[in-house]
């Protein structure tokens, strides 16, 4: 019996002999040029651009079989971007430690940054939206754009493999911002003001003021690492670490922000 496991060196989109490059609409051919990747299986690109609002409306209209949204590709793209960004940072910044690399990767693969990358590509122009999302300004929504960016990179991974994704992530996601952000870390500065963001979120939700407490220090004097816990209302929100207390507080605030936003607390 033949194994169903595919050769990892062969792009998944090119496995089937009957996969042919469909005739893409002119706007999507333009997007391929902007991305720097002509799709073998162009249906992957179309799926990556298809928001669930369109599939839901298509289902009500009896066209569900022909529609698939981009959420599964978004899931895949999130992991692929994380790997490509981690490898790129590891090679770019040999002097940064694990905690700093983690913070830098977090900034570069964040919804905010990916939304900016999507806007630079004018990705909103190419999205396939349902009427409800179209009418509510979906083409300009940062979260929707960031999700679509992840889905597109997931589609590229399936179509052409990891090496192509590495090249595109480097050009679109890393090159414009990585060196500047890495330089901030090497100079002892933080990335973004997460403390202000956390305070604003807690105030908006009427949860109180954040409090920061140094819980531990480790390492020799010339290479110390600080651990800081952020609490609110008697509850621990997160613990961060950094080369000084300021960076550790920012890291704790960043993790608390991500947790609160993901859990909707």
Q: Please identify every residue annotated as catalytic.
A: 78, 150
Give the whole-angstrom CA distance, residue 193 versus residue 202. Answer: 15
| CB-CB neighbours of 14 under 10 Å | 14
User: What does the alpha-carbon distance between residue 247 and residue 189 come to, in Å, rounded to a whole number?
Assistant: 7
HEC readout, 228-243: EEEEECCEEEEEEEEC
In angstroms and rounded to an integer, the radius of gyration of the C-alpha atoms of the chain is: 21
DSSP-based three-state secondary structure for 188: coil
User: CA 49, CA 156: separation in Å to the nearest integer?
Assistant: 12
State the SS3 of 121-150: CCHHHHCECCHHHHHCCHHHCHHHHHHHHH
């Amino acid at each position: 019996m033949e194994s169903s496991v595919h050769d990892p060196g062969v792009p998944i989109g090119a496995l089937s002999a009957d996969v042919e490059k469909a005739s893409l609409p002119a706007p999507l051919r333009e997007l391929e040029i902007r991305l720097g990747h002509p799709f073998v299986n162009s249906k992957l690109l179309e799926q990556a651009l298809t928001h669930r609002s369109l599939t839901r409306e298509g289902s009500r209209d009896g066209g569900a079989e022909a529609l698939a949204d981009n959420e599964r590709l978004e899931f895949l793209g999130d992991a692929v971007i994380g790997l490509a960004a981690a490898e790129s940072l590891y090679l770019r910044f040999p002097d940064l430690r694990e905690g700093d690399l983690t913070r830098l990767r977090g900034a570069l693969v964040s919804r905010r940054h990916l939304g900016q990358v999507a806007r630079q590509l004018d990705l909103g122009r190419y999205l396939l939206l349902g009427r409800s999302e179209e009418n509510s300004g979906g083409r300009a929504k940062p979260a929707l754009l960031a999700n679509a960016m992840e889905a597109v990179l997931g589609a590229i991974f399936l179509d052409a493999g990891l090496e192509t994704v590495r090249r595109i992530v480097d050009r679109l996601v890393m090159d414009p911002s990585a060196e500047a952000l890495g330089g901030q870390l090497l100079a002892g500065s933080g990335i973004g003001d997460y403390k202000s963001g956390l305070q604003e979120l807690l105030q908006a939700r009427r949860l109180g003021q954040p409090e920061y407490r140094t819980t531990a220090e480790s390492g020799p004097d010339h290479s110390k690492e600080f651990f800081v816990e952020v609490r609110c209302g008697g509850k621990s929100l997160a613990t961060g670490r950094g080369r000084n207390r300021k960076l550790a507080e920012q890291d704790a605030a960043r993790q608390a922000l991500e947790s609160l936003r993901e859990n909707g607390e």
